[in-house]
Amino acid sequence: MTRLTMSIAALGLAIATFAATAMAEPITIRLGHSSEGEVQLPGAGRTAGVLAFADFVEVASGGELVVEQFPNGQLGNARTMIESAQTGVLEMVGAYTSIMVPFAPEIAVTQIPYVFRDNLTAWKVMDGPVGDDLADVFLERTGLRVLGWADGAGYRHIYSERPITSPEDMQGMTMRVPENPGLLAMFRAWGANTVTITWAELYTGLQAGMAEGHDTELYSMYSQKLYEVNPYVTMSRHSFNLHPLMINEEFFQSLSEDHQTIILQGADLYERVANSHSFVSGLVVQSAMEEAGATFYYPTDEEIAQFRDLGQQPYIDITVRKIGDTGQDWVDRVMQAAADAAAAE
């Protein structure tokens, strides 16, 4: 074969390879979550984080990766979406801590009442060894890799039909509590009766009298207009909420190393953007809720101590039992990590 012929053949091969690459279908990543689809203020930090993640991944991969987003619970409730991600129907899912607990009870240690002094303390702990090890546990149990532990609109508070200033005011009240045995035990220790209602059905459930109150984060309450049925807000700050972003591990491992790196870099951006937006949203959501008719009460230090002293140990006790032999070790680890992070601020 002459040099000319070899050159022509090589050129033809290069053109064919380029054409095949150009015509290759992009890899679609379906991502479902329950927050709104557009960034707003006040708004979900997860929404801002997911949009930043999607933009980064698509640009950094040169269009080889495409993130198809399904916000607003279009694909079902949080538990359903986690299960869909496990089976590969979804590649990625944005969930929240309480709904992760039934899959891996170790996750419950992140919601121990009053364990995190503030948002920054929580962020530091979840970005450290405790967050990494919890992610490993969840991966082992579910086949889902936690890419980032983003702030889930901050702290949970108490909302009700009538004012609550201390645990005594909840005696005999029926409170909706998510599927975290620790939170259920905490509310029972406060004297309340508990019922579980899915997030999608909560407004109508409260309206129908299935519960007299509930607990969630300020923005979550505001976004669903739950103040229309539970207008009294007790700023108890009893548990911190997280909005982890997860990916099906089998799908993740099927990607090239370059694509995996892009996903991990995008996840870091997701966490940073979500944390920032969630924190800023928390600063403005109260005034928006007050304009909408909500009434706020800030417990005194003595009243907060009542909530903590009555609710923390029952939460810990049932969490340790659910986890098993390593339960107390997990509790001790997260409490020590939180104390260390707070001391370093």
**Burial class (CB within 10 angstroms; exposed 0-12, middle 13-18, buried 19+) of 50:** buried
Q: Are 176 and 202 in contact (CB under 8 A)?
A: yes
Q: Where are the beta strands (DSSP E) in 6-107?
A: 27-32, 65-70, 92-94
Contact by Cβ (8 Å): 46, 274: yes
Residues 6 or more apart whose Cβ sits within 8 Å of residue 332? none
Per the structure block, which two tokens stand in for 22? 């150009």
The whole-number pLDDT of residue 116 equals 97
- Quick one: pLDDT at residue 2? 53
pLDDT tens, the chain, 345 aa long: 454 444 444 444 444 444 444 457 999 999 999 999 999 999 999 999 999 999 999 999 999 999 999 999 999 999 999 999 999 999 999 999 989 999 999 999 999 999 999 999 999 999 999 999 999 999 999 999 999 999 999 999 999 999 999 999 999 999 999 888 999 999 999 999 999 998 889 999 999 999 999 999 999 999 999 999 999 999 999 999 999 999 999 999 999 999 999 999 999 999 999 999 999 999 999 999 999 999 999 999 999 999 999 999 999 999 999 999 999 999 999 999 999 999 997
Per-residue pLDDT, 314: 97
Identify the structural domains of the chain with CATH numbers, from first to last.
25-344 (3.40.190.170)
Token digits for 185? Answer: 């035990």
**Strand partners of residue 65:** 27
Q: CB neighbours (10 Å) of residue 183? A: 26
Q: Which residues pair with 150 in a beta bridge?
A: 243
| The pLDDT of residue 8 | 47
Distance of CA 221 to the CA centre of its chain: 15
- Rounded CA separation 316/239 (Å): 12
Phi and psi dihedrals of 246, rounded to 5?
-130, 155
DSSP codes, 188-239:
HHTT-EEE---GGGHHHHHHTTS-SEEEEEHHHHHHTTGGGT--EEEEEEEE
Predicted pLDDT of residue 23: 55
| 195 contact partners, CB below 8 Å, separation of at least 6 | 174, 175, 176, 177, 210, 211
Under 8 Å between Cβ of 313 and 88: no
What pLDDT does residue 17 have? 43
How much is the CA Rg of the chain, to the nearest whole Å? 23
Q: Nearest 5°: phi and psi at 33?
A: -155, 170
Separation CA 214–CA 184 (nearest Å): 11
Rounded to 5°, angle at Cα 73 from 291 and 61: 110
Residue 16: per-residue pLDDT: 43
Q: Which two tokens stand for residue 44?
A: 């979900």
In this predicted model, what pLDDT tens digit does every residue of 132-147 receive, in sequence order?
A: 999 999 999 999 999 9
CA pair distance 274, 127, nearest whole angstrom: 14
Encode pLDDT of 285-321 as tens digits: 999 999 999 999 999 999 999 999 999 999 999 999 9
